[in-house]
Amino acid sequence: MRILISADMEGATGVTWPDDVMPGASQWERCRSLFTSDVNAAVRGFHDGGADEVIINEAHSTMRNLLLEQLDDRARMLTGRHKALSMVEGVQHGDVDGIAFVGYHAGAGMEGVLAHTYLANSITGVWLNDVRASEGLLNAHVAAEYGVPVVLVTGDDVACEDALGYAPEALKVAVKDHVSRYAAVCRTPGRTAADIQAAAKEAAALAVRHEPVRGGPFTVAVEFDAEHLAMAATVVPGVDRIGERKVAYTSGTMYEGIRAFKAVTTIVSAAVEEQYG
């Protein structure tokens, strides 16, 4: 049994505001250990449940946040940027039986601690076939195309509620309760590690590959906080304006859809000016 962990940071234990997750910021170094603790708990739990191998795909920002020297020795980690499937890189090779979303969060425009979709700001909403989309929803559709079920989701309570829509059978672990975008009632790392480990052990039984789900076509709509960002996004072929601050494109598969989304967000991030957005 091979498990892939897609590890994001905003939904990690103790994380509540930008400095906790921005590389080089004052609290980031401390929160790297908390993030690594959550991932380690999942690794231990999956092995307790019978996994033969657990591979971690670092999925936050620079994708160089987890502390390799603190990881469980049984794990292997893919670290660094520029990967074909970004947050779920590795799911496409036909050898993954289940995927875990550790440290996930709610999407842009939703309530939730540090809620966003790919870009920390600038994007005010993303919709997949008219359903408001988080990173979890987008990534779950990519995994489904390769027959890989989402078996575990950890994050704040809102992220766990969001996961009910895209992975209803997955185990969910809330490591904190949302109060506002930058505040939460947090559980201690000792408690969250125990909760994640127990859930991962149970979730291992769900790691059974299924027939690939071909659910396309997929229409992705993205709304920005400024008109010029929508204009910038149309540089990507197939992306059209559907409103003053909104664009959309349609892809036959989510493999194509998530790659186009990455292109849109990369172009848009380069169009943001420091003071005016």
116 given a catalytic annotation? yes
Q: Say if residue 105 carries a ligand binding annotation.
A: yes
CA distance 24 to 94: 36
Pairing of strands 98-104, 218-224: unpaired
| Active-site residue, selected from the candidate residues 47, 116, 141, 178 | 116
Q: Say if residue 20 carries a ligand binding annotation.
A: no
Measure Cα distances from 194 to 18, 32, 161 in Å: 26, 18, 20
Q: Say if residue 47 carries a ligand binding annotation.
A: no
CA distance 156 to 173: 8
Task: Name which of 3, 48, 44 is nearest 206 in CA terms.
Answer: 3
* Contacts of 65 by beta carbon, 8 Å cutoff, 6+ apart: 9, 21, 23, 28, 32, 35, 58
In degrees rounded to 5, what are phi and psi of residue 65? Answer: -115, -35
Q: Say if residue 60 carries a ligand binding annotation.
A: yes
Q: Say if residue 53 carries a ligand binding annotation.
A: no
| Residues annotated as catalytic (active site), given as ranges | 116
Q: Which residues define the annotated binding site? A: 8, 10, 60, 105, 135
Binding residues for Zn(2+): 8, 10, 60, 105, 135
